[in-house]
Amino acid sequence: MAEVAPSRSRTDPPAPEQHRSERTLIPRRLHASSFRSKGQYNSGNHHHHHHHHRYRDSAKETVQSAIELKPPITFDHLLRRERKSPAPSRRGSGTAQQQPQVDGSASVEDEPVQRVVRPEEVAKAKKENAKREEELRESLKSVEEVGMSSTRQLDDTYYAILEKASMLRSTVASLQRLADECRTMHTSFEEDTTKLDRDTKQNVESFGNFDHQEKRINELVDKLQQLRGRTNQLNDRLESARLRVEAYEKNENVKQSRRRTRWNITWATLLGVLLLFVSILLARNRRAVGQQLDIVGEHLVWLEDFAGDVVGPIATKLRPSPSEDPYLHAAVYTYRIRQRYHDIPSLPRHWFWGNLQAIGEKCNPKLGRHPDYGFEEMWNELERPPAFLVDLAPIDRLSFLVVGEPQIAETVVQPSTEYKYSVPKSDTMEAAKPLIGKESLITAEGEEWRSLRKRFNRGFAPAHLHNLSPLIISKTQVFVKRIQDGAKTGSVVPLKELSQDLTTDIITQLAIKKDFESQSIPEGEGPKSTFGVLTASRILSTLVGKVGQGFDPTQFLDPVRRLKLWYYERVFDRELYRVLSQKIEQEKLQPKKKDASAKAIVQLALADIEPTEAVLRNTVAQIKSFLFAGQDTTATLIQWLCYELSKADYDPRYRKIVDRLEAEHNAVFGPGAFSALNMLKQPGKAEELLGTRIPYTTAFIKETLRLHPPAGTARLIPAASKTSPPIYASINGQSTRIDGLRVYNCQWIIHRNPKVWGEDAHVFNPDRWLDEAYMSKLAPGAWRPFERGPRNCIGQELALLEGKVVMAAVTRGLRFEKVGFTGRDGEKEVWGIHHVTTVPNDGMMMRFHLRKES
């Protein structure tokens, strides 16, 4: 231990230095102990161990506290580093010889040994000490570094803990706030509920006060009942007054009709006697008159030529138009016509009667067929020319050009430089005037016609008709119901009546929004009674001159007929006038509706016009015209549609056609034999589905109108004069004059002409309409049931719409069976007769059946 003392006195450093000197001693001991076992070291070196332990513990404490949180280096690791660092010095100094020495000195430590120390040994030791000191300093430095990093880590950890703590604190604070809010909510909820409770209680209490109101209501009810009693009394009085007025009216009517009958009888007898007298005279001198007419005719032609060439120019100076003398003109016509039109094909003529004999044969009313059939026979005899002449001289001053090809038909109906709105209507239309009125759209000409047509076009435009389609559909439902009822009884019914009632209802509804209910009112009542407006309309149409049916003297000489015409025209006019004025009054009372969608056609036409007396009268004429032009024609179309459908029952070709119709209806209107009308009733559906979605049905209707055209047009080309130029047409390759003739566009011939439609022209084949190549080759105007040009049918969209609705309604659910004139087993097939328009000869007698599937 002696060596320890000097070493201590020599250095004598402050505490850390002391530590360091202590530390300088340790390695020597350590060197010795490092070769011993751990147990030996611990037990054998207690003293040194104590120092070392203290150092280790304090370091451990510092480090451990940091390491606990985030230990970068374990304490063992630290120790190991410390032990390793002095190793090179130990190896360098601790030689093999020294060890036993040290060991030996250690082993003899207990017994002090006197030993001489050499100076070089001292120097060597000193050197070694210095070296160890250096090593120790380095070790201390590294321990310091470790300490520093541990402090830094400790700081980091501390701040992390601080952060966590503050977070916790804020969480606690928000939890507290939440608790506060819960508390306030609870209190306010309690307040609200108590208030509600209080209010409800008050309300419940105040219920008791309704007694007063109840009493007043009861009083009011009593008063109302009293008032009702009084109204009923008034009604009763009014009713009895009405009954009295009606009885008076009836009485008046009976008296009137008696007076009328008496008047008729007187007239008839008078005229009968006169007629008898004239006929006897004529019969006696017939031959003489015939012979002399020839000589008279020749003289008259001479006279006319003379008048035209010599007297004419002089007379023009005195009188504006001398050549328009009707008698002179008529007389020379027989001769004139044969000169002027000699190059137009015509049947061989009798020297005097001309074509009259042939006409009498083929167009005789007694044949009970439309003159079209007679014209067709003539046309065939003439080997089907584009047009041919039917000479009516000498009984009529004007003759007919019957047209069989579209090209000539177009010449008279399309506008031209001479005739802005096409060639004027034929004078034969005059006969229809009692039925259609003097100012009718059908017969008006020039600017008068133009302004009328303009006013009414709006009402007949497809868009407006679609607005009115619910009316058409609901009327068609009644029509279907009537057929269904007919099917149940199995009786034979004239389809004509059902379809005429339908079209009458539709036209009157659309035109004036007046429902005559002709489909539901039985014969002999209301408008169908003897003096009813519908009866008047029907009787008028039978009375109107049957144009083209040949000469019927009774028509001109029958006084009763004239009287009847006069009378029924009055009935018709008066009733329509009454309805129209009523409608206008209603219109005035109602605030003006901007919406034109559901307006009657006449309302639209009167929209911007002051309804004066004259305007009303004119409008009545138009309503009559619509009834005349649209009622029978459309009803005829419906009858032929059902007739064509009926053929499916026995003709396989027709079966296929009807199958295709059904397939189309199933696809467009959905399943269900009678579903179509319900679907079409939905807003916008009629317009959507009936426009382009049913092409086959449309083709079926067009084909029906082609083979059974209900109407036509006759025009009169004024004879060439200073004001009207001659008009030419190409007939059989020759340009021929046709002015001065009545031109009849005979649809019956045009629509069946093989030159126009091909060899299958007479075959009912809807498919032709869907064959684009075929259609593109068709001549313009080949199909003209509604005629063409500016004066075409104003109601064609309506007629087609009605046709489509009827087809949609009947095709799948009903079967039609023609009774009589079936065209089978040697029986004649139903044909057309002349009744103003062309109508089926037998009223289309039919039996109806419900389809098995329905």
Among 20, 425, 455, 513, binds ligand HEM (CB under 6 A): 425
Binding of residue 807 to ligand HEM (CB under 6 A)? no
The length of the chain in residues reads 854
Binding of residue 411 to ligand HEM (CB under 6 A)? no
What are the structure tokens assigned to 765, written together? 């084949």
- Distance (Å, rounded) from C-alpha 519 to C-alpha 565? 25
Q: Which residues pair with 411 in a beta bridge?
A: none
Binding of residue 442 to ligand HEM (CB under 6 A)? yes
Among 794, 814, 830, 844, binds ligand HEM (CB under 6 A): 794
Binding of residue 626 to ligand HEM (CB under 6 A)? yes
Binding of residue 787 to ligand HEM (CB under 6 A)? yes
Binding of residue 712 to ligand HEM (CB under 6 A)? yes
What are the structure tokens assigned to 222, written together? 């009593």
Binding of residue 711 to ligand HEM (CB under 6 A)? yes
Is the alpha carbon torsion for 444, 445, 448, 449 positive or negative?
positive
Rounded to a whole number of angstroms, the minimum distance from the CB of residue 611 to ligand HEM is 20
Among 409, 629, 645, 741, binds ligand HEM (CB under 6 A): 629
* CA 228 to each of CA 222, 223, 633: distance values in angstroms, whole numbers, following the listed order: 10, 9, 51
For residue 442, the one-letter residue type is I
Is the alpha carbon torsion for 465, 470, 475, 476 positive or negative?
positive
The residue (of 332 and 408) whose beta carbon lies closer to ligand HEM is 408
- Distance (Å, rounded) from C-alpha 747 to C-alpha 409? 9
Contact by Cβ (8 Å): 722, 316: no
Binding of residue 806 to ligand HEM (CB under 6 A)? no
Q: Which of 540, 535, 536 is nearest to 522 (CA)?
A: 535
The residue (of 549 and 837) whose beta carbon lies closer to ligand HEM is 837
Binding of residue 437 to ligand HEM (CB under 6 A)? no
Binding of residue 795 to ligand HEM (CB under 6 A)? yes
The residue (of 180 and 445) whose beta carbon lies closer to ligand HEM is 445
Considering only 5-13, 110-118, 319-327, 706-714, which stretch makes contact with ligand HEM by CB under 6 A?
Answer: 706-714
Among 535, 646, 697, 713, binds ligand HEM (CB under 6 A): 713
Binding of residue 766 to ligand HEM (CB under 6 A)? no
* Helical pair 695-707 and 652-669, crossing angle rounded to 10 deg: 140
Binding of residue 630 to ligand HEM (CB under 6 A)? yes
Our CA dihedral for 732, 738, 741, 747, rounded to 10 degrees, sits at 50
DSSP letters spanning 726-792: --EEEETTEEEE-TTSEEEE-HHHHTT-HHHH-TTTTS--GGGGG-HHHHHHSPTTS--TT--STTS
Binding of residue 789 to ligand HEM (CB under 6 A)? no
Among 757, 786, 816, 848, binds ligand HEM (CB under 6 A): 786
Rounded to a whole number of angstroms, the minimum distance from the CB of residue 252 to ligand HEM is 34
Q: Which of 471, 496, 474, 493 is nearest to 484 (CA)?
A: 493
The residue (of 635 and 668) whose beta carbon lies closer to ligand HEM is 635
Considering only 102-110, 520-528, 530-538, 631-639, which stretch makes contact with ligand HEM by CB under 6 A?
Answer: 631-639
Contact by Cβ (8 Å): 540, 434: yes
Write the interaction track for ligand HEM spanning residues 496-525; mark x where CB under 6 A is met and - where it is not. -----------x------------------
Binding of residue 441 to ligand HEM (CB under 6 A)? yes
**How do beta strands 742-745 and 814-818 pair?**
unpaired
Q: CB nearest ligand HEM: which residue?
A: 795
Among 793, 801, 814, 836, binds ligand HEM (CB under 6 A): 793
What letter does residue 325 receive in the DSSP assignment?
Answer: -
Among 150, 399, 469, 625, binds ligand HEM (CB under 6 A): 625
- Distance (Å, rounded) from C-alpha 413 to C-alpha 416? 9
Considering only 282-290, 328-336, 566-574, 795-803, which stretch makes contact with ligand HEM by CB under 6 A?
Answer: 795-803
* Count of residues of this chain found to bind ligand HEM when the rule CB under 6 A is applied: 25
Taking CB under 6 A as the criterion, which residues in 313-342 touch ligand HEM?
Answer: none
Rounded to a whole number of angstroms, the minimum distance from the CB of residue 288 to ligand HEM is 42
Considering only 251-259, 487-495, 630-638, 686-694, which stretch makes contact with ligand HEM by CB under 6 A?
Answer: 630-638
Binding of residue 355 to ligand HEM (CB under 6 A)? no
DSSP letters spanning 190-222: HHHHHHHHHHHHHHHHHGGGGHHHHHHHHHHHH
The residue (of 375 and 567) whose beta carbon lies closer to ligand HEM is 375
Q: Which of 793, 447, 441, 427 is nearest to 620 (CA)?
A: 441
Binding of residue 637 to ligand HEM (CB under 6 A)? yes
What letter does residue 718 receive in the DSSP assignment?
Answer: P
Contact by Cβ (8 Å): 153, 70: yes
**How do beta strands 742-745 and 400-403 pair?**
parallel
Site of interaction with ligand HEM (CB under 6 A): 425, 441-442, 453, 507, 625-626, 629-630, 633-634, 637, 710-713, 785-787, 791, 793-795, 798-799
